[in-house]
Amino acid sequence: MKKILVLFILFFAFFTTVKADSCSAQEKLKYINEAVKVTASYEFLKDDTGRSYFLITVYNLSPNVMVSYYDKNEEQHYFVGSDTKLSESFTDYDIDNIFTYKFNISVYGEGGCLSNITSYSLVKPKRNYYYDNVAECKFEKMKDYYYCKEWINSDFRVDSDTIINNIKKEFNKTTTSVSVEEETSDNLVTFLQLYIKYRLYILIGLGIGILADIVYIFLSYKKIKEGEF
C-alpha cells in the first residue's frame, strides 16, 4: 500500500515537471517504476597494496535511468544503465570521515521526455577511532557497545575523556577481565587441574561401582539358577 502511494505521488509530480507532449501516460508510469527501484550499498575492501577502501555500488539501473551525485570535493558524476549493465560502482578511500552520498535519479525517453524523479541517500560510515585505540574495545564482550563499534554513521557528541571513561566503566561491569579466548583456555586449565587432583578418587569410585555391578549380576544369576533346579 505504501509503495502504491509513493508511485501515485511521483506520477503526479512527473506530470508537472515534463513536457506534456513528450511522454505518454504509459511512459511516465514505466519510468517512475524504474526510478523507485534504484538503490545503493557499500562494501569495505582492501586493494592489492593492503589499503582499505569502500566500494559504493548503485543497483537496478536501466537504459531509461540516469543517476547523478556529488563527491566530497563537490564534483558531479553521473552514469546511465544499459541492458547489459544494471549496476555501477566506484571507490572511496576515505575511511576516516562520514559522508552522505545523495543519488539524484532521473528518467528519460524518446522525444526529450526527461525529469528528475526521486533521490536515494547512502551514508558511508567511518572507522571508529576508539575501536582501534582503546584496549577494552578489542574484547569480544565489548563488540556491540556503542563507543566500541568498528564503524559509525555519526560522530559522538561527547568529549574523548568521557567516551574513554564510559568504555572502561562498561568493561568493568562484568566480573571477568579476559577475552573469550582467554576465558575458554582458563576453563580448560581449571578442569584439567581438578581432574589431576581428584582422579584417584574418581578411579576408586568407578572401580567400586563396577565391582558392585558385577556382584549384583552374579548373585542374580545364582538365584535364577537355584530356582531352576
Q: What percent of the chain has pLDDT over 70?
A: 63
Q: What is the mean pLDDT of residues 116-123?
A: 88
0.85 exceeded by the pTM?
no
**Mean pLDDT, range 69-97, rounded to an integer:** 92
pLDDT at 5: 36
Q: What is the pLDDT of residue 9?
A: 31
Could you give phi then psi for residue 132, rounded to 5 degrees?
A: -90, -25
Per-residue pLDDT for 220 more than 70?
A: no
| Furthest-apart CA atoms within the chain: distance in Å | 115
- State which CATH number among 2.60.120, 3.30.310, 2.60.40, 2.30.29 fits the domain covering 2-126: 2.60.40
> Any idea where the domains of the chain sit in the sequence?
2-126, 129-171, 178-229
pLDDT at 27 over 70: yes
Q: Is-contact 118 32, C-beta < 8 A?
A: no
Return the top range by mean pLDDT from 10-24, 34-48, 167-181, 190-204: 34-48
Q: How far apart are CA 5 and CA 206, in angstroms?
A: 74
